[in-house]
Amino acid sequence: MLVQAEDLALRYGDRTLFEHMNFSLAKGDKIALMGDNGVGKSSLLKIIMGLMPPSAGTARRVEGLDVGHFTQKRETLPGDKTPWELIGEGIDFVISNTGDKRHVTSYLESFLFKSEELKRPIHTFSGGEKNRLQLAQFMKHARDLWVFDEPTNDLDLETIGVLEEELRAYQGALVIVSHDRSFIENVTDKCWLIHEGKLEIFEGGWGQAEAFLEAITLEKELAKRAPAAPRAAGIAVESPKGDKLSNKDRNRLEKLSAEMASQEKRVADLEAKLAGDYSLQAELTKAQTKLEGLLEEWMELESRK
């Protein structure tokens, strides 16, 4: 067992993002973490990785847990180096933290690099080739737990195929946040869905989760089509106030998800920088307060739909 969570909750101010979460994460688990924007997926990942405390409950991690996190914000590759220098780091073999050895040439060939490309400066490669190289750099270390946040963004189909093969062969634990349903189905065997502040766990994987999501969609459609209550003869009936969103509110709700994602990324960036520069504390506090405000606004509008 790598991570054991009991009665987890996350709150921003007087708003609850999720609560009463209980789950186990073991070696070999390959999990898709799903849910609408703003439900707390990125925050849950941070709690799992030990980067953020929950508001309530416990998340116990095995001592010395080695986690690799592949985010949408990727480090810039050194343009003056070659793939051989970047991946080999001065030796001819890639050595994972499990002790497995793979020759640099064969390892890079599995990421679709030809032997004659291994000594070319990285700045001469295309964007797609650099994406593959970033994956190769990240995945050469077979850590206890790999966390991927939207890994297929900006990847071409060929590179996604390479990533799927590597992840299927990987024997450690894996948690993926992705909107690519085909990728999820090909790589994971369990689905966790954050829905209405709770964690729904589908041991049967995407196929089982898909049926649940279709049922939710059907319920929403039926609710929209439900006939209005009949009016009493000669009596005007007022609609309850606040039970519908105006067009302006709906437009605002659509924009809020993107704003929250952007602000959450800013908070994460500042938290990372804070480790070496405590003068950023005030800026971080301001960014966290803004994020809380966006979440409160989003939850208020969602509650009126």
CA terminus-to-terminus distance, the chain: 40
Inside any domain, residue 277: yes
Quote the CA–CA distance of 39 and 257 in Å, as a whole number.
10
Given a contact cutoff of 8 angstroms between Cβ atoms, the answer to whether 107 and 82 are in contact is: no
Do the domain assignments include residue 268? yes
Task: Outline where DSSP puts E strands in 26-61.
Answer: 30-34, 56-61
Residue 266 lies in a domain: yes
CA R_g for the chain: 23
Show the domain range for 261: 247-303
Q: Which of 172-181, 238-247, 264-273 bottoms out in mean pLDDT, i.e. has the lowest?
A: 238-247
Which residues sit opposite 147 in a β-bridge? 69, 175
Domain count, the chain: 1
Average pLDDT rounded to a whole number, residues 261-266? 82
234 occurs within a structural domain: no
Nearest to 295 by CA among 267, 240, 257: 257
Residue 68 lies in a domain: no
Measure the CA–CA gap between 175 and 101, rounded to whole angstroms: 25
Q: What is the DSSP letter of 73?
A: S
| The pLDDT value given to residue 264 | 81
Query: Phi/psi zone of residue 25: left (φ > 0), alpha (ψ -120 to 50 degrees), beta?
Result: beta
217 pLDDT band, cuts 50/70/90, is confident
Does the residue 227 lie in any domain? no
Q: What is the pLDDT of residues 235-260, one digit of tens each?
A: 444 444 444 678 888 788 778 878 88
- pTM of the model as a whole: 0.69
Q: Please say if the pLDDT value at position 14 is more than 70.
A: yes
Q: How confident is the model at residue 34 (pLDDT cuts 50, 70, 90)?
A: very high
Q: Is residue 115 part of a domain?
A: no
- Going by C-alpha positions, the residue among 59, 83, 53 that lies closest to residue 1 is 59
Query: pLDDT digits over 55-102, tens only?
Result: 999 999 999 999 999 876 666 788 899 999 999 888 888 876 566 788
**How distant, in Å, are the alpha carbons of 138, 209, 235, 294 from that of 29?**
19, 16, 60, 33
